Amino acid sequence: MYKSIIIGTGPAGLTAAIYLARANLKPLVIEGPQPGGQLTTTTDVENFPGFPEGIMGPELMDNMRKQAERFGAEFRMGWVNSVDMSSRPFKLQVEGIGELVSETLVISTGATAKYLGIPGEQDNVGRGVSTCATCDGFFFRGKEIIVIGGGDSALEEAGFLTRFASKVTLVHRRDELRGSKIMQDRVRANEKVEWALNRTPIEVLTNEMGVTGLKVRNNATGEEEVIPASGVFVAIGHHPNTGFLGGQIDTDENGYIIVKPGTSETNVPGVFACGDVQDTRYRQAITAAGSGCMAAIDCEKFIESLEHEAAAAAAAK
């Protein structure tokens, strides 16, 4: 029986682990197949406070893990197949471990960026291919960039990247964009943005120095074209990692966990959510870490209330 189990080891989960461990609650942290989360695929992290020269993503996550371990957090590798939240304590079925039981849960399983699945894409994530303009736009100052997508996220990233790039080409496989009209109008008015609509991405092109461009197919003519660029930003959305919850927690239409405003509380008492699994807007390491702190404090207060109730019940006897 654990007082608290944290599922996920990105900035949110590791921050929650640090706080809960310092509260002497000895949390168990379950690491999935990508310990450290998406940040482990990022090379230079320059926008996390406290590192004026920047820090490598894997190094930052490793430091946070060691900090949590120092205060008594336990880490185990496993894949959570299902969680029974019908009653407390909660029961988790974890592949590679078996059944685990806990009074509280902190869900920090994140959201996975969607990729195209074309050659040259995965091999160059962090080396010219990115899914986060806010994180990586600075590295492409004065260079030509491609943004792939047709929704509001793609339009927003294209507009943001014009602050750094000499030119941003927006590639979309249809001849019409899905984004809102106000976003389309805003980006179309930007002189740095060029358009490559009705084109299907085929391959990310590279050389020994990094990304050199994107090969696309013109859907109208069938001909292949090459769009030169030093960076390719894939902006076709994210999907939250909530499938294992089996619909036991309230989520929005896209599967993101809904929390009570200003807290990390879900609709299930004793279950808390933090990081990108409940964040549809910011998706930054620092905001994830902040929400992990919130989840730990909310969780600690919940455990205290259980202990007070148990003490009162015992006194009444």
Which residues are tagged catalytic? Answer: 132, 135-136
Amino acid at the residue 192: K
Residue 68 and residue 17 in contact, taking contact as beta carbons nearer than 8 Å: yes
Distance of alpha carbon 202 from alpha carbon 215, whole angstroms: 5
Residue 105 and residue 91 in contact, taking contact as beta carbons nearer than 8 Å: no
Q: Measured at the alpha carbon of residue 33, what is the angle toward residues 35 and 22, in degrees to the nearest 5?
A: 35
Dihedral sign from CA coordinates of 34, 36, 37, 41: negative
Distance of alpha carbon 237 from alpha carbon 30, whole angstroms: 26
Residue 16 and residue 115 in contact, taking contact as beta carbons nearer than 8 Å: no
Length of the chain in terms of residues written: 317
Q: What DSSP state is assigned to residue 258?
A: P
Q: Which contiguous run of DSSP H or E holds residue 186?
A: helix 181-188
Please choose, from the candidates 142, 201, 139, 141, the residue with its C-alpha nearest in 3D space to the C-alpha of residue 170: 201
Burial of 56 (0-12, 13-18, 19+ CB in 10 A): middle
Distance of alpha carbon 33 from alpha carbon 233, whole angstroms: 24
Q: Which contiguous run of DSSP H or E holds residue 194?
A: strand 193-197
Distance of alpha carbon 162 from alpha carbon 89, whole angstroms: 51
Amino acid at the residue 226: V
Amino acid at the residue 52: P
